[in-house]
Copies of this chain bind each other. A is one copy, B any other.
Amino acid sequence: MTMRQPVELEKSYLLLNHGPVTLVSAAQGGRRNVMAAAWAMSLDFSPPKVAVVIDGRTWSRELIEASGEFVLNIPCRAMAEQVLAVGSCTGREVDKFANFAIGTSAEAVTQAPLIDGCVAWLACRVIPEAHNQRRYDLFIAEVVGAWADPRVFAEGRWRFPSDDLRTIHYLAGGNFLASGDAFAAGGQ
């Protein structure tokens, strides 16, 4: 079951601020793919922008450069096996959606699909920056749509009702950290 409610664009940076691993989905002309990306961050509040590293050898890179769009999907712990799986093979040879039982939903904002089972989604439109893309594999994009599972993100705040729904942070070698306890500093 995937629950999804819109998030105001000016609050969409909150979905990425704590540095979770992402799944990058892209589609172009009937072709589509999904890859894992730990190197993604917010770049601006309003209009909201993101920066993400997309390796030049990936098939997703071709789809993103052709379509000018992608979705940053924020997976939860229940999806860790799939995150690892889609990061360990290429969509040129494997239909990752079929192979790893990854469902998708469409939103009218971009061609790129939203990955079911994730807990937040940022639909992004590439701001063409040829030098960054070529030299650093770095893509800058404007966030044009944002959604979250209201069980875990509502009224601008993350909360994790179960361990399965925690967001996750990639380390290396198939190892992750789960997002842990929330706490306030400064007596707030």
Contacts and interface: CB of A to CB of B under 8 A. Distances in A.
Interface stretch (A64-72, A108-116, A172-180): A172-180
A126 interface: no
A161 interface: no
Interface in A134-187: 136-138, 140, 156-158, 166, 169-186
Number of copies: 2
Contact of A41 (B41, B81, B157): B41
Which bucket holds chain A's interface residue count? Answer: 35 or more
Interface string A67-96: 000000000010011011100100000000
A25 B59 CA distance: 38
A42 to B, nearest CB: 5
Given A19-B20, A179-B177, A84 B185 contact: yes
Interface stretch (A1-9, A26-34, A43-51, A117-125): A43-51
A169 B175 contact: no
A49 B185 contact: no
A185 to B, nearest CB: 4
A131 to B, nearest CB: 7
A177 B180 contact: yes
Contact of A180 (B132, B170, B175, B181): B181
Contact of A182 (B39, B136, B176): B176
A166 B157 CA distance: 21
A136 B53 CA distance: 16
Query: Top 9 closest A-B pairs, CB basis?
Result: A19-B19, A180-B180, A18-B169, A80-B185, A178-B180, A174-B188, A84-B185, A41-B41, A174-B186
Interface of A: 14, 17-20, 38-44, 49, 51, 53, 77, 80-81, 83-85, 88, 131-132, 136-138, 140, 156-158, 166, 169-186, 188
